[in-house]
Structures are given as C-alpha cells and as structure tokens.
Amino acid sequence: MTMFNTFKGMALAATLAAGTIMSATAANAAVVLSNGGVIDVSGNTGTFDATFTDVGAFSHDFTFTIPSTHLTSATVTAAFVTRGVDVNFSEILLLSGDTVINSFNSISGGAGTSEFWELRDERLGAGSYTLRLNGTSNVAPPKAAVYSGTLNISAVPEPATWGMMIVGFGLVGASMRSRKPAAVLA
C-alpha cells in the first residue's frame, strides 16, 4: 500500500507540474523577434522575422539605421501554414521617431490566407528608422506561425552625378547629330 501511495503522490505531483508548465507556457508565451528587433542593413539588405506561439494582438518594432540618403524598399510575408493558424496584419508602418513616414501596401492575402505587403522606393536620409508591424495572431500552442521580411536599401546618386550623366547623354546625342551621312555608292 505504501508503494501505491508513493506512486499516486508522484503521479499527482507530475500532473500538477505539467499543468503549471502548460499554463505558464500559454500565459507567458513569447513572440520571438529576430536579432532583438534590430535589422542589420550594412550589406544593403537586412532580414527580419517573428515566431508566434500565442493568440492575441501584437505590435512589433524593428529598427534600422542608414548612414546616408538611400532608397528603401521592403516586403513582408506571413505564410498561412496550417488551417486556422495564421498571422493577420492590420497595418505595417515606416516611422522616423514617432512620425509615420509611409505605410506598406497590402498586395495579396488576408485573414486565413498568406499575406504579402510591400513598400517601394521610399527616399530616406541618414538616420534611424522603425518598421512597426501591427496585427493579430490566432496561434494556439503547441502550434506556431511566422512572418518574415526583407529590407533593401540602395544609394541615391548625388546631384553632381545626375548632372554628369545628363551632360554625357547630351554630348553623345550631339556627336550623333553632327556626323555626316556616309556616301552611298551607286
């Protein structure tokens, strides 16, 4: 009888521990942001993502810094993997400090499907910026959902470079006009 009581006590303790772990996991389930929410664009392209293991609304910030004026483009994809498990965006914003500079366009998808959002050719000066992704997740443990994104920056030619290109095109055009036509032999 003593061995049965010991087994019964161990089973009860294991059940309570599992229940505590399960409730802690559900209540404290974290959304994991890649790179701590910082996008490294030192190679002119940076990636970011988040993994969800819980239900609810979210607002995620990813920051990045650019050294000089650049054209910036970005895409974000939330893939619909399992029926009833997905991430739905309500808006994706580009901010400088607390000021909204622009918002992403929803290209395709919606609740219950894969989503694709994009921002094209936004001219940004040197400084720090934030991508803010707002939406909801309907992920229930043990399942998970993910969204991912890519941020591209490309240098903007300076005015002197544009001037040199225009003068060059003008010289090429002028040289083509001033050429005498070749004589035609009959």
Task: Kindly write down the DSSP assignment for every residue of 34-98, as one continuous string.
Answer: GGGGB---TTSEEEEEEEE-SEEEEEEEEEEEESS-EEEEEEEEE---BTTB-EEEEEEEEEETT
| Domain contains 146 | yes
For CA atoms 142, 85, 31, 149, the dihedral sign is positive
Minimal CA–CA distance to 61: which of 86, 31, 28, 41? 31
122 token code pair = 């936004």
pLDDT class for 115, splitting at 50, 70, 90?
confident
- What is the tally of helices (H) and strands (E) in the chain? 2, 10
- Which carries the bigger pLDDT value, residue 139 or residue 17? 139
pLDDT in tens, 36-90: 889 988 888 999 998 887 788 989 999 999 988 899 999 999 876 666 667 889 9
Res 143 pLDDT > 80:
no
| Domain contains 113 | yes
Look up the domain containing 67 and give its range. 30-157
Quote the pLDDT of residue 101.
94
| Domain contains 70 | yes
What is the CATH classification number for the domain harbouring 56?
A: 2.60.120
Quote the pLDDT of residue 102.
94
Lowest-pLDDT choice from 92-96, 119-123, 126-130, 136-140: 136-140
Number of separate domains in the chain: 1
Distance CA 103, CA 149 (A): 15
| Domain contains 7 | no
Query: Do 151 and 72 meet the contact criterion of CB atoms below 8 Å apart?
Result: yes
pLDDT in tens, 145-162: 888 999 999 877 666 655
- Which carries the bigger pLDDT value, residue 172 or residue 128? 128
| Domain contains 144 | yes
Global pTM exceeds 0.75: no
